[in-house]
Amino acid sequence: MKNLVRPFLAGILCLSSANLQAQLLYQDNFDAGTSGSSWTARLSGADAVASFAFDYSTLGIPSAPRSSDGSTIGLGFLVNQSGGVFQGVSATPDGQGFSGDFRVSFDMWLNYVGPVGPGGSGTTQLGSFGWGVNGENAEWAGGSSGVMFATTLDGGSSSDYRLYKNNASDPTASTYAAGGQNNSLAYYNVFGGESAPAGQITLFPEQTGVTDAGEVAFRWYGVTIDKIGNDLTWAIDGMLIASSSLDNVAASGNNIFFGMFDSNASSSSAANDFLNTAIFDNVVVTVPEPSTYALLVLGGLALVAFRRRA
């Protein structure tokens, strides 16, 4: 049953990704450069940064796929640049809250100090995002509420794909469509083989090589979070990654968040440690139209079946 349900769920997410006439609840493409006045960043330590008008072309990164007019302005994060401490940062849009059924979609770019593949110094950090917060605290592995999804920059952890519930990482195999969290699992092999963009290699010649199989870095990926009924589901480029029932979730609010954290205390020794970054762009929250909703409900039913048989 597992082998049938996982591809079926991935197909449902892919079919629903068109979301043709969805009702718009919220959006921010960060292009105005004023998002810092409508978002709030929370830091677990002084060595973390949230940049709401970050020009990622300064790292040689091309415009995100859904950006208009070739814009290269997004939301960028840095953590543990020199403090040598376990820490994180997150940002939430002010005054927002989302309940009922909805989809959060966004572009994500993860980057790290080369050589690409093995990675350089201090590259095992994580980009993160989720739902169920009030925006009053930093959401990271040292203190999260609601549900947080996260993935490593460099694929250098035993648990590269993570789901946190009530500030605890969930290692349950059935939580993950791959049956586990390590990027070496065959399910994740659709990711990887990416080079740093030419513009970045020109600026930083050490960025040679290609990403290992299962790494989600050095490319713009389309990420979605779907809340359908009592389930929260995470997909990358339409492929199911992880899901969580919201039973017993201690949500502090109903806002979304984006962020980055370091699960290791040591800081990078690289001169270009700012290349260890998570960048998000083109955040959109929608309510699916009935036809799309029907597909998502069908996917939710399959998800329940998957959990019961896992």
Q: Is 7 helix (H, G, I), strand (E, B) or coil?
A: helix
Q: What is the pLDDT of residues 190-249, one digit of tens each?
A: 999 999 999 999 999 999 999 999 999 999 999 999 999 999 999 999 999 999 999 999
pLDDT at position 259 over 50: yes
3-state SS class at 111? strand
| Mean pLDDT of the 21-43 span | 89
Tell me how long the chain is: 310
Average pLDDT, the chain: 88
Per CATH, the homologous superfamily of domain 2-309 is: Exo-inulinase; domain 1 (2.60.120.560)
**What is the DSSP code (8-state) at residue 91?**
E
pLDDT greater than 50 at residue 13: yes
Sequence spans of domains, the chain: 2-309
Q: Which of 80, 81, 63 is nearest to 72 (CA)?
A: 63
Q: Are 222 and 284 in contact (CB under 8 A)?
A: no
Q: How are the residues of the chain apportioned to helix, strand and coil, as percentages rounded to the nearest 5?
A: 20, 35, 45
